[in-house]
Amino acid sequence: MSVRCRFAPAPSGSLHVGNVRTGLFSWAFARHHGGAFVLRIEDTDASRVTEGAFHGVMDSLRWLGIDWDEGPDVGGPHQPYRQSQRMGIYREMADRLLSLGAAYRCYCTEEELEARRRAALERGEPPGYDGRCRELTDAERAAFEAEGRASAIRFRMPEREWVVDDLVKGEVRWGPGQLRDFVLMRADGSPLFLLAVAVDDLLMGITHVIRGDDLLASAPRNAAVIEALGGVPPAYAHVPQVNGPDGKPLSKRHGSTSVEAFREHGILPEALMNYLSLLGWSRDAETTFLSRDELIEAFDLDRVSSNPARFDVQKLEWMNNHYIQTLDDDDLAARCLHFLSVAGLSPEPGLLRRAMPLVKERMKTLAEAPRLLRFLFTDDIEPNEAAAELIAKAPEGYLASAAEALGAVREWSAEAIAGALDGLAAASGLNRTKGWQPVRAAVTGSNVSPPLPESLELLGRERTVERLRAVA
């Protein structure tokens, strides 16, 4: 059997990292087994969907390194791959279920359904459709239609035990009568999730559905629709949700939650893919870092946990720093350029490349590049509060002496600069830390910078001395 997996996001906003983690698992499973990965867009709810979000979903996936064999942009044998363009298919399949006796028309109004739901709760019974329209006679249907009642199409759920042998959760059972009849098509002719998903999985030949465990209860319903249409249900794997550090579902109250936001924050795609792959899965007890190819080679569902994973931004940033350190200077400089440009800086390429060794170990994210390197690419330096305080507390004449000492350095190198600064500090009765701090503050405008001698070497003698004299 050739494996076929799918990821079916709804483009109603930025792509949530919890959703893309599930999509990553599906993609890695398909790639591991040499199968096909399908991108399908669930955009039937026009009130929530935007074209910008649709394109944003695909852009985020591509940036992360997830590719697909079939989808709305690349086509494929089962197109279209946007549910909004498959409405005719859903209506045809709903009509087929009606003709097979697997579905029926339901004339119950929203008010009637709500009243019966409340009554069931008051009796201490679980709410659910009571089958009122399940066995209507032709005369009863005609009477409802004469009243002008609109009808939804409701699936006739077989009253038997349903078993899903879930590849993550294990065997899950629902007893006879536990699963009630459910709506496939609204009275306005729009399909519900339970119909659209089942029809698409059937017609697209999906063999494995890997999705969040919030959809576990949908599995027997999806399977029932597929069986009623003469198909074989796919294997299901329901992965646990991603929580925040507090154990609650990851949401905006925890900070950034979208791929787009982490991209703008300066997280590398390699780091984010690696980190997301370890949220609920592991290759073994020791492995932390995995390349894209290593993930594909190692991934399978037998090591997916059935417990929720916790998203830890600090661990992601730690992992991101590891990946930053593995980049060569040219690559890192190219990736930093966007963030420097957004900050209004126009770095000279050669100088930017030479600065990379100074910041590799210090940057948790690329978005920190402007803060660390601003002093190199503009002479419009305004000391921050901490730097201004260091400048003000410097011994009288100290910064003027620093300008003189550095101006006299014969060979402008980090080693010679460090020697001159140490000599000045010692002559002033200061240790290295106390002696270097005001110089750092005056030249960089900050109390924190890359290593000072190396920074001044890159900045150059003339600019260094000029800045010291400006505040002396």
| Tens digits of residue pLDDT in 88-143 | 999 999 999 999 999 999 999 988 888 888 988 888 788 888 889 999 999 999 99
**Position 318 in a domain:** no
**Mean predicted lDDT score pLDDT of the chain:** 95
**How far, in Å, CA of 377 to CA of 381, rounded?**
10
Whether residue 435 sits in one domain with residue 367: no
**Position 317 in a domain:** no
Among candidate residues 251, 285, 310, the one where a domain is terminated: 310
Whether residue 112 sits in one domain with residue 56: no
Please, where are the H alpha helices in 147-280? 193-203, 218-228, 259-264, 269-277
**Position 316 in a domain:** no
Active-site annotation holder among 248, 252, 315, 434: 252
**Long-range pairs for 149-152: beta carbons < 8 A, 24 or more residues apart:** 149/107, 149/109, 150/107, 150/187, 150/188, 151/105, 151/106, 151/107, 151/187, 152/105, 152/106, 152/183, 152/184, 152/185, 152/186, 152/187
Segments forming the whole domain that contains residue 371:
327-377
**Position 322 in a domain:** no
> Per-residue confidence at 262, pLDDT binned at 50, 70, 90?
very high
Burial annotation 185-201 (CB, 10 A radius, 16+ → b, else e): bebeeebbbbbbbbbbb
315 an active-site residue?
no
The encoded tokens of residue 375 equal 């002093």
Cβ(279)–Cβ(19) below 8 Å: no
Q: What is the pLDDT of residues 273-283, one digit of tens each?
A: 999 999 999 99
Whether residue 209 sits in one domain with residue 108: yes
Whether residue 99 sits in one domain with residue 74: no
Q: What is the pLDDT of residues 156-204, one digit of tens each?
A: 999 999 999 999 999 999 999 899 999 999 999 999 999 999 999 999 9
Burial annotation 82-103 (CB, 10 A radius, 16+ → b, else e): bbeebeebbbebbeebbeeebb
Predicted model pTM: 0.92
Among candidate residues 239, 254, 274, the one where a domain is terminated: 239
Cβ(280)–Cβ(1) below 8 Å: no
How many domains does the chain contain in total? 4
The encoded tokens of residue 243 equal 């929580």
